[in-house]
Each structure stands twice: as C-alpha cells, then as structure tokens.
Amino acid sequence: MKHFYFLRNQWRPRNPIEYYIKKIQVKTLLPRNILDRLHSQYPLSRNEELSLLHVDAEGFDWAIAQSFLEQITPNVLVFEQKHMKQSSIASVMRSLQTKGYFSWVAKQNLYAMQVGLPRALAYKI
C-alpha cells in the first residue's frame, strides 16, 4: 500500500510508518535490581531513607513508581501524569494517601511527599 502526503499543491509518496520504526533490544532492570546496584555503589542500610524518587517513563510512570514503592518509601515521589485520565490521577492520589503521602498535581507532574516532612519543602519542588 502506498502512502502519500500533500505538499505545495502536489501529492507525494510517503514511506509507510514501518520505515521509521527500528526494533531494538533494550536491557531492563527490576526495581530491586536497581536498588541492589545503588546499595552496592553507596553502602547504605536498607532502612535508610531515599530522599527522592523521580520516574519518567512515557506513560508507565505510575506502574514503575508502584514497583519501587513495594520496596522503599522515598520522602518525595515525582512522576509524569500527563498520560493519565483524571479518574486515574484521583485514584493514584488516594492510594498515595493510604501510604502516608500527601500529593498534588502541578503542570505535567504528580508530586507526593511523606506526611510529616516540613511543608516548606513543597514550595522548593
């Protein structure tokens, strides 16, 4: 099937979308493997606090953040929410509240901070 586009009053052939897609293998790591690497480079005890977890994974942010939250409790969590529906954002915020966070949305990100941290930190984020 040929694809065309219109430019300067003419129809011109266009490559199919497959022309622009390249399949590559990407190495992946589970959150526990990432944390193991972190702890091997910076010898901290497992129960030491992680100050900030920032996830940006083009639509998979909350799923990845959840995987990390099963293992650690960062003081501050930031991830992109622009790919989420409003109802999903509300559900995520309720879930974070049950885990001891207060959260808010600003621009494209959802921010969550552990309850009990100085609220003045929120203004610096």
The tens digit of pLDDT for each residue in 54-105 reads 999 988 999 999 999 998 889 999 999 998 999 999 999 999 999 999 999 9
What residue numbers bound the domain in which 89 lies? 3-124
Number of domain units in the chain:
1
Read off φ and ψ for residue 105, nearest 5 degrees: -110, 135
Predicted local confidence at residue 123, as pLDDT? 54
More confident residue, 18 or 28: 28
d(CA 54, CA 39): 17
**pTM for the complete prediction?**
0.71
Predicted local confidence at residue 17, as pLDDT? 66
- The answer for residues whose C-beta is within 8 angstroms of residue 46's C-beta and 6 or more apart is 39
Chain centroid to CA 31? 13
